[in-house]
Amino acid sequence: MAGRGGSGIGIGIYRGCFWGSLQGFWVPPTPILTLVPPMAGGGSGIGRAVCARLAKEGAHVAVADQNEAGAAETVRGLPREESGQEHEAFGVDVSSAQSVGELMARIQARFSTPPRVCVSCAGITMDEFLLKQTEAAFNKVLQVNLKGTFLVTQAVARGLVESGAPGGSIINMGSIVGKVGNLGQVSYAASKAGVEGLTKTAAKELARFGIRCNVVLPGFIATPMTDKVPPKVLQKFAGMVPLGRLGDPKEVADVCVFLASEESRYITGASVEVTGGLFL
């Protein structure tokens, strides 16, 4: 429900300490993969907030997007808190198995290890009522939102298992719409419901490898797309939320940080709503 987006990826490399400021759990330097939607006009949003939060924790972040220029713009805005901290931009089409495979190979070549954490935020909407929704539009949304999440989750999990890594954390971005539906979003709701089911199944299958899989469900989140919504409409949205306001992308990013960290080491297969109490 955060607005229209696209597909992309960000990767972070931790040097020495995995989420050190949170837990102090020491592991070798490892990459962190984050799928992020390109931000309209180069603004901020959930994906960029996640990348910024990773960078703030000391990650070496590589941002990948179907539009590599957009990824580069994200990289330019990332903080560099640690000495020698580096960020890079990549291009990728998350709906293509070949493209995702090539990206993983580039990550492996660049950082000599597969991602230990994956935060998948890629998503688009092509809103239309059920009676008017075209097959092409429906397929496009599922190609990016559901198939893209599947391909990246599978690729990251395979990399972890094949490398013998002692576990990992995969965090997929769903939506509260996937649980309750929404007028005019039949394809988006279906895709996000699928992401939730995919993640829970992955959690069951990958637990024996120490890989945790969880899904985050944002509600009404203020993004560059909501800047175009009339104030009266935004006020109506905020009035539906028990906490009385729209969420901030940083609040979603904070949840992703928690699920990536050792603080959540006994959490897998969970659906975490970041909605301000919407639809309680």
So which residues are the catalytic ones? 188
DSSP assignments along the chain, one per residue:
-------EEEEEEE-SEETTTTT-EE---EEEEEE-PPPGGG---HHHHHHHHHHHTT---EEEESSHHHHHHHHHT----STT---EEEE--TT-HHHHHHHHHHHHHHHSS--SEEEE-------B-TTT--HHHHHHHHIIIIIHHHHHHHHHHHHHHHHT-S-EEEEEE--THHHH--TTBHHHHHHHHHHHHHHHHHHHHHGGGTEEEEEEEE-SB--GGGGGS-HHHHHHHHHHSTTSSPBPHHHHHHHHHHHHSGGGTT--S-EEEESTTTT-
